[in-house]
Amino acid sequence: KQEVTQIPAALSVPEGENLVLNCSFTDSAIYNLQWFRQDPGKGLTSLLLIQSSQREQTSGRLNASLDKSSGRSTLYIAASQPGDSATYLCAVTPSGTYKYIFGTGTRLKVLA
Amino acid sequence: EAGVTQFPSHSVIEKGQTVTLRCDPISGHDNLYWYRRVMGKEIKFLLHFVKESKQDESGMPNNRFLAERTGGTYSTLKVQPAELEDSGVYFCASSPVPLAGGRGGELFFGEGSRLTVL
């Protein structure tokens, strides 16, 4: 049974810091991994989607890597800003299914 | 282009009552998903429609939950009768790719419907 874990559960950093959020999953048989952002009371916004054959994806200040064999993904945020404050979720699609398995998220607060 | 819209944004009902949540996917998206987040837990899959057909409903908690998708457009999720443990946020997501969420697709989520059962 696939399980997704995100560490840390919460993180508070000063503005301008580079930071790394971690996501680990127990079964390497996945189709893809997607990182989302959720603002309080809002829906999920897709940040980056990494296919199982890819190693990383970049969008602006965000870079996500995927190491399928070790069951890990990291989301790197460069030069963090207060507007980056949100909950970050990762989700994987186990092979043979069409549904996401979500982690519990990392609640990020960037202090001005 | 309008995103995934959900209605109502928040519903408060008494235990034993019925609630119907509605989701309008992005136009042209054949794949529609329902997910749920209960307090303190991770978001969990409920079911997946391809057009009007249920592709996978393995995540539906019990037979008090009924999902429909009329004509392959909007979808409703009915809870009858509601129980306290049904409280949470119900998310709808859609995607244009036939195997979205599986082989390569990106999911687009709505803002969720918060259900509170008293």
Q: Express each pLDDT in A30-44 by its tens digit.
A: 988 999 999 988 889
CA distance A39 to A21: 16
Chain A contact present for B106, CB below 8 A: yes
**Contact predicate B9/B111, CB 8 Å:** yes
* pLDDT at residue A99, rounded to an integer: 87
Q: What value does the mean pLDDT of chain B take?
A: 90
* Chain A residue nearest residue B38, CA to CA: A104
Smallest CA–CA distance, residue A11 to chain B, in Å, is 17
Q: With cut-offs at 50, 70 and 90, classify the pLDDT of residue A61.
A: very high
Residues of chain B contacting A34 with CB distance shorter than 8 Å: 106-107
B105 has a pLDDT exceeding 80: no
Torsion of CA B111, B27, A54, A74, to 10 degrees: -10
pLDDT value at position B1? 66
**Which pLDDT belongs to residue B104?**
53
Residues of B in contact with A101 (CB under 8 A): 45
Whether B100 has a pLDDT exceeding 50, the answer reads no
A50 residue type, one letter: I
For A39, A63, A89, B92, the CA distances from A19, given in Å and listed in that order, are 18, 11, 15, 30
pLDDT digits (tens, 9 = 90+) for A77-99: 999 999 999 999 999 988 888 88
Q: Cα separation of A97 and A51, whole Å?
A: 14
Q: For residue B98, what pLDDT band results from cuts at 50, 70 and 90?
A: low
Q: What contacts B102, CB < 8 A, 6 or more positions away?
A: A31, A93, A97, A98
CB atoms B42 and A4 under 8 Å:
yes
Using a CB–CB cutoff of 8 Å, tell me whether A76 touches chain B.
Answer: no
Residues of A in contact with B2 (CB under 8 A): none
How far apart are the C-alpha atoms of B70 and B51, rounded to whole Å?
9
At B116, the pLDDT band (50, 70, 90 cuts) reads very high
Across the interface, whether the CB atoms of A36 and B4 are under 8 A apart is answered no
Contact B45 A99 (CB under 8 A): yes
- Give me Rg for the CA atoms of chain B: 13
Distance CA A68, CA A7 (A): 17
**Beta-sheet pairing, A101-102 with A44-51:** unpaired
Q: Which chain A positions have a beta carbon within 8 Å of B45's beta carbon? A: 99-101
Q: Looking at the complex, does the CB of residue B110 fall below 8 Å from at least one CB of chain A?
A: yes
CA-based nearest distance A39→chain B, Å: 10
Q: Which residues of A touch B43 (CB under 8 A)?
A: 44, 89, 91, 100, 102
Residue with more model confidence, A76 or A97: A76
Q: What is the mean pLDDT of residues B86-92?
A: 96
B108 and A34 within 8 Å at the Cβ level: the answer is no
